[in-house]
Structure 1
Amino acid sequence: MDILKKLWIYIRRYKFMFYGGFLFIVLNVLTSMIPGYLNRRVIDDVIRDNKTELLLGFLLSYMLAAVLRSIFILIQRYLIEGLSQNLLRDLKQSVYDHLQKMSFNFFNQNRTGELMSRMTGDMEAIRVLFAEGMIQFTRAIFYLIFVGIVLIREDVQLTLISLAVSPLIAFFAYRLSTRIRPIFSKIRDQYSDLNSTVQENISGIRIVKAFHQQCYEMEKFDEENNEYFIRNYKAAKTWSKYFPIIEFLGGVSTVLLLYFGGRLVISKEITLGVWMQFNSYLWMIIMPMRMIGHLVNMFNRAVASGERIFKVLETEAEITNNEKAVTLDRVKGEVEFRRVSLKYDDQYILKEIDFQAKAGSTVAIMGATGSGKTSLINLIARYYDTTKGEIYLDGINIKDFDLKCLRKQISVVMQDVFLFSETIKSNIAYGSPEATLEQIKKAADIADASKFIEEMDDKYETVIGERGMGLSGGQKQRVSLARAILERSPILILDDATSAVDMETEHKIQQALESMEHKSTIFIIAHRISSVRNADQILILKDGQIIERGRHEDLIKKKGEYFKMFKEQYKELLEDKHFKEKLVVS
């Protein structure tokens, strides 16, 4: 009931379809009862009493009832299907919109395949409940009411005898419900795991083939697929245990009616027509009872799916706006970290980070893998929130900024380059859809991407594959860089953005960035000394702490961690006597 209450929030938007569908299901039930009544009249009045003049009227009534019922079914289907499809659309939109608000941490904790299964299999289970379950359940209820009233009025004793086993049917249906619900919940969970396995394999198929792990992946999928089979098979075994009992009890009702009803006809306590009406009406009650198992199955699938869907919807976003969020058109770009620490679970990733980046300056961040470089720059746009300390942008705490406004001030080239299956033009203009082709070309020039783009057959209209397939690593990085440059944001973050290009291309990009009309505050994460040597400030991280800071020349003189990196990267040059002498002089 809790899930149904939550779904009602969406259903009530379409009250006309809901109540209209409900009304026409009831009308369908009423018209389906007319043939049973007409059969009785034909047997008792026309055949037994030889009133043949009534036959034509009965036949026309039969035809009219059939036509009306067909119309009611048509309208009922149209309204109920419309309701279920609108519900599906709105629920999907709610989940999708909610996912857009979630922080990076949420996606770290939830696999893509699991979230995809919420949007596919779980949604379909909800739709089926309302498209099919609502019709079957409503018909069952009103058959019980209307048919029960008619039968009791005809013969109370025979009605009670015929329905004597109904409580047993209800009991076993309830038992089936309680047994099968947790199984369906596990099936939905396993379906998510199966989805995740397939999604990860397809996304990483090139790595799989490169390392000859096809057999391993097939075995892994076989395990997940077999587990899915086992859980479904367990549900089928539970179903097969109870459903035959329910079917048998439905058959017992027919036997009781045949035996006791037949005796009443022989003793002339009721007419044959009444018995025939009893028989046809009894099936209108028995059939819904026999469908209880199917309804229970459908309902429990939907409840298990609904719980998973609303678990996503009820997960609150970790990062939200303050009540009085600050909105600015454009900031200068001065960034200051004050005693900033960041903790994931129980482990500190960053500790007591203090530094200031003046507007228009370039700050380089270096350090070994896992030292906290990417975590540090992720804090600037509030992809994560600090555990301790504050970050200020133009003297305003970033937590006081409107999130959309804050992130509009920042352009990011992420370490893991992602391009969409669109044209190169669309990918570059992703953050600035209103940009002209000239502006797109200019951004591509700065990123040194225009040359290879112009060499393509369709140039900027070239459609690239999923995640940028068809482009080299360096080309993807340059398209991603052009996308960030085009936004002309006050802050530009480059997370290892030129690692896949050669040093000559990297030098061209650096010169182009320095000569841009609008000067951004640039944060560079890099491993190459050549990428950071011209930075206004270089921060060296180790175990989440800044252990060195300064300009290239100052850090070389300190002979510390930065100098070790320098020696490692320029080992061959340092062995050259002329270069050594030049370095000493400088």
Structure 2
Amino acid sequence: MRELKKLWIYVKKYKLFFFGGLFFIILNVIFSMIPGYLNRRIIDDVINGQQMELLFTFLVTYIAANFLRAAAIMIQRFFTESLSQNLLRDLKQDLYDHLQRLSFNFFNNNRTGELMSRMTGDMEAVRMLFADGMIQFTRAIFYIVFVMAVLIPESLKLSLVSLALSPLIGFFAYRLGVRIKPIFRQVRRQYSDLNSTVQENISGIRIVKAFHQQCYEMEKFDEENNNYFTKNYNAAKIWSKYFPIMEFLGGMSTVLLLFYGGRLVIEGEITLGIWMQFNSYLWMLIMPMRMIGHIVNMFSRTSASAERIFNILETEPEIKNKKKAVHIDRVKGEIEFKNVSLSYGDEDILKNVSFHAEPGETIAVMGATGSGKSSLINLIPRYYEPTDGQVLIDGIDNRDYDLRDLRSQVSIVMQDVFLFSETIASNIAYGQPGLDLEKIKRAADISSARNFIEEMESGFEEVIGERGMGLSGGQKQRVSIARAIVEESPILILDDATSAVDMETEHQIQQALEAMDQRSTLFLIAHRISSVRNADQILILDHGEIIERGTHEELIKNKGQYYTMFKEQYKEVIDEKEIEERWVK
């Protein structure tokens, strides 16, 4: 019921469709009862009472009732479908919008396939409750209410006999609901696992083929698919255990009606017409009893799915605005880390990091894989928050800024380049849709991407494949650099952004960045000395700590880890003696 109460918040917006649907479902029930009443009148009044003049009226009424019932069914379906589709649209939109607000860490802990299953399969289960379950449930309730309201005055004893097995049917329906809901939770979770397996395989199909792991992937999918089958089979076993019992008890109600009702007719307590009316209405009593299992099944599926959807909707973003956030148009770009530490669980990623960058300076960050380089720059736009210490931008803690304003000050080229399946121009102007083409071309010039783009058949209007398929690694990096440059943000972060381009192109990009009219404070993560040697400050990280800092010349003189990296990368070009003569002395 908790999930239904939450769904009611969405249903309330469409009260016309909801109550309109209920109204025409009830009309459907009323019109479907008229033929049973007419059967009684035809037997008692026309056949036994020899009032033939009534036959034509009854037949016309019979036809009219069926026509009106058909019209009610059509209109009820329009209302319930309108309700379910509007509900589905709003719920999907809210879930999608909420996903956009959730922090990076949420996506680190949840697989894409699982989130996709909540946007698709779980949503459809919720929709079906209001498109189909609402009709079945309402009909079941009002069939029992209206039929008994008509039959009890005719014969209380026969009415009670007709309902004698209802408590048993209700008991088994309750037991079915209790046992099957946990199974449906498992089914939905396994469906997510299955989706995740497929999504990961298709996304990484080139890696799968490159390493000849098709058989392994097929076995993995077979295991997940079998698990999905097993959980559905377990649900079916529970269903098959209880549903036949409810069907049998429903059938026994017919036997009781035939036996006891027949005796009442013979003894003259009721007429044959009344008995026929009871017989006509009996399916209206038995149908709700038989449908209880199906309705419970649907409610259980919807409850399990709604629970998973609302689990996401009720997840609070880890990173969010303070009540009185500072709004800014543009910062200068001064950045200071004050005793910053960062931990994920029990793992220390950064330890007591401190440095200062003036506006327009270039700060290079180097270190081994896993030393905390990406974590450090992710703290600047508040993708994560430090466990201890402060990240100051223009002297203000970045946690005090409005989150949207803060992130508009930072352009970033991430290590894992992602391009959308759109035109190259749209990808470059992603942060500023509708941007003038000349500005797009200028950004492409700076990133050394313009030449290869214009060589393509459609130039900047060339549509690239999913995740940038059709472009080389270096081309994708240059397009993503252009996407960051076109923002003209006061802070620019390049996270290993030129690793796939040659050194000559990298040098051209660096020169173009330095020649820009309005220089950004640049954070540069790189592994090549050639990428960082002109930086105003170079930070060397090791296990989350800054072990060296300074300019290229200063670090060479210190003969520390940077010096070792320099010697290793340039050993074919410069010998150690030349290094000593040129920098150390």
Q: TM-score, normalised by structure 2?
A: 0.99
How far the C-alpha of 1:273 sits from its partner, in A, is 1.1
For residues 280 and 39 of structure 1, the distance between their equivalents in structure 2, rounded to whole angstroms, comes to: 8
Q: What's the CA shift string for 1:373-399, capped at 9, x where partnerless?
A: 000000000000110001111111111
Matches for 1:17-56 after TM superposition, within 5 Å: 17-56=17-56
Q: Tell me, yes or no, if structure 1 residue 280 matches structure 2 residue 311.
A: no
For residues 66 and 158 of structure 1, the distance between their equivalents in structure 2, rounded to whole angstroms, comes to: 27
**Unmatched runs of 5 consecutive residues or more in structure 2:** none
Matches for 1:31-430 after TM superposition, within 5 Å: 31-430=31-430
Q: What's the CA shift string for 1:285-310, capped at 9, x where partnerless?
A: 10111011111111100000011111
For residues 87 and 233 of structure 2, the distance between their equivalents in structure 1, rounded to whole angstroms, comes to: 30
For residues 88 and 452 of structure 2, the distance between their equivalents in structure 1, rounded to whole angstroms, comes to: 44
How far the C-alpha of 1:341 sits from its partner, in A, is 0.4
How far the C-alpha of 1:358 sits from its partner, in A, is 0.4
How far the C-alpha of 1:18 sits from its partner, in A, is 0.8
Structure 1 585/250 Cα, relative in aligned 2: closer, same or farther at 3 Å?
A: closer
Structure 1 584/22 Cα, relative in aligned 2: closer, same or farther at 3 Å?
A: closer
Q: What's the CA shift string for 1:341-381, capped at 9, x where partnerless?
A: 00001111001010011000000000000000000000000
Q: What's the CA shift string for 1:488-528, capped at 9, x where partnerless?
A: 00000000000000000000000001011111000000000
Partner of residue 490, structure 2: 490
Code of the aligned partner of 2:332: K
For residues 10 and 390 of structure 2, the distance between their equivalents in structure 1, rounded to whole angstroms, comes to: 40
How far the C-alpha of 1:581 sits from its partner, in A, is 7.4
For residues 518 and 415 of structure 2, the distance between their equivalents in structure 1, rounded to whole angstroms, comes to: 24
Q: Secondary structure at the match of 2:499?
A: coil
Partner of residue 526, structure 1: 526
For residues 496 and 218 of structure 1, the distance between their equivalents in structure 2, rounded to whole angstroms, comes to: 35
Structure 1 576/537 Cα, relative in aligned 2: closer, same or farther at 3 Å?
A: closer
How far the C-alpha of 1:10 sits from its partner, in A, is 0.6
Identical columns (%): 71
Contact map agreement 2:326 2:400 (CA 8 A) in 1: yes
For residues 395 and 269 of structure 1, the distance between their equivalents in structure 2, rounded to whole angstroms, comes to: 95
Say which is worse superposed, 40-49 or 244-253, in terms of deviation.
Answer: 40-49
How far the C-alpha of 1:282 sits from its partner, in A, is 1.3
**Unmatched runs of 5 consecutive residues or more in structure 1:** none
Q: Secondary structure at the match of 2:572?
A: helix
For residues 303 and 132 of structure 2, the distance between their equivalents in structure 1, rounded to whole angstroms, comes to: 15
For residues 576 and 84 of structure 1, the distance between their equivalents in structure 2, rounded to whole angstroms, comes to: 75
Q: TM-score, normalised by structure 1?
A: 0.99
For residues 38 and 255 of structure 2, the distance between their equivalents in structure 1, rounded to whole angstroms, comes to: 24
Contact map agreement 2:567 2:576 (CA 8 A) in 1: no
* Shift >6 Å, 4+ stretches: none
How far the C-alpha of 1:574 sits from its partner, in A, is 2.6
Partner of residue 459, structure 2: 459
For residues 524 and 11 of structure 1, the distance between their equivalents in structure 2, rounded to whole angstroms, comes to: 51
For residues 120 and 60 of structure 2, the distance between their equivalents in structure 1, rounded to whole angstroms, comes to: 48
Code of the aligned partner of 1:123: M
Q: What's the CA shift string for 1:100-157, capped at 9, x where partnerless?
A: 0111100001111111111000000100011111110011111111101111111010
Structure 1 581/248 Cα, relative in aligned 2: closer, same or farther at 3 Å?
A: closer
Q: Secondary structure at the match of 2:323?
A: coil
Q: Secondary structure at the match of 2:573?
A: helix
For residues 335 and 421 of structure 1, the distance between their equivalents in structure 2, rounded to whole angstroms, comes to: 35
How far the C-alpha of 1:63 sits from its partner, in A, is 1.2
Partner of residue 538, structure 2: 538
Structure 1 168/581 Cα, relative in aligned 2: closer, same or farther at 3 Å?
A: closer
Code of the aligned partner of 1:517: D
Structure 1 192/557 Cα, relative in aligned 2: closer, same or farther at 3 Å?
A: same
Q: Secondary structure at the match of 1:269?
A: coil
For residues 395 and 433 of structure 1, the distance between their equivalents in structure 2, rounded to whole angstroms, comes to: 32
For residues 584 and 137 of structure 1, the distance between their equivalents in structure 2, rounded to whole angstroms, comes to: 84
For residues 42 and 463 of structure 2, the distance between their equivalents in structure 1, rounded to whole angstroms, comes to: 72
For residues 280 and 205 of structure 1, the distance between their equivalents in structure 2, rounded to whole angstroms, comes to: 61
For residues 297 and 390 of structure 2, the distance between their equivalents in structure 1, rounded to whole angstroms, comes to: 53
Code of the aligned partner of 2:397: N
For residues 154 and 281 of structure 2, the distance between their equivalents in structure 1, rounded to whole angstroms, comes to: 12
How far the C-alpha of 1:68 sits from its partner, in A, is 1.2
How far the C-alpha of 1:268 sits from its partner, in A, is 2.2
Q: Secondary structure at the match of 2:320?
A: coil
Question: RMSD in angstroms over aligned alpha carbons?
Answer: 1.1
How many pairs align?
585
Contact map agreement 2:553 2:583 (CA 8 A) in 1: no
For residues 523 and 344 of structure 1, the distance between their equivalents in structure 2, rounded to whole angstroms, comes to: 23
Structure 1 580/556 Cα, relative in aligned 2: closer, same or farther at 3 Å?
A: closer
Code of the aligned partner of 1:290: R
Contact map agreement 2:338 2:353 (CA 8 A) in 1: yes
How far the C-alpha of 1:23 sits from its partner, in A, is 1.1
Say which is worse superposed, 553-562 or 430-439, in terms of deviation.
Answer: 430-439
How far the C-alpha of 1:267 sits from its partner, in A, is 2.1
Code of the aligned partner of 2:60: L
Code of the aligned partner of 1:195: N
For residues 78 and 443 of structure 2, the distance between their equivalents in structure 1, rounded to whole angstroms, comes to: 52
For residues 392 and 457 of structure 1, the distance between their equivalents in structure 2, rounded to whole angstroms, comes to: 46
Q: Secondary structure at the match of 2:460?
A: helix
For residues 175 and 584 of structure 2, the distance between their equivalents in structure 1, rounded to whole angstroms, comes to: 89
Q: What's the CA shift string for 1:295-339, capped at 9, x where partnerless?
A: 111110000001111100111100110111111111111011000
For residues 151 and 478 of structure 1, the distance between their equivalents in structure 2, rounded to whole angstroms, comes to: 80
For residues 280 and 329 of structure 2, the distance between their equivalents in structure 1, rounded to whole angstroms, comes to: 74
How far the C-alpha of 1:580 sits from its partner, in A, is 4.9
How far the C-alpha of 1:223 sits from its partner, in A, is 0.5
How far the C-alpha of 1:584 sits from its partner, in A, is 5.2
Code of the aligned partner of 1:205: I
For residues 39 and 190 of structure 2, the distance between their equivalents in structure 1, rounded to whole angstroms, comes to: 52
Q: Secondary structure at the match of 2:317?
A: coil
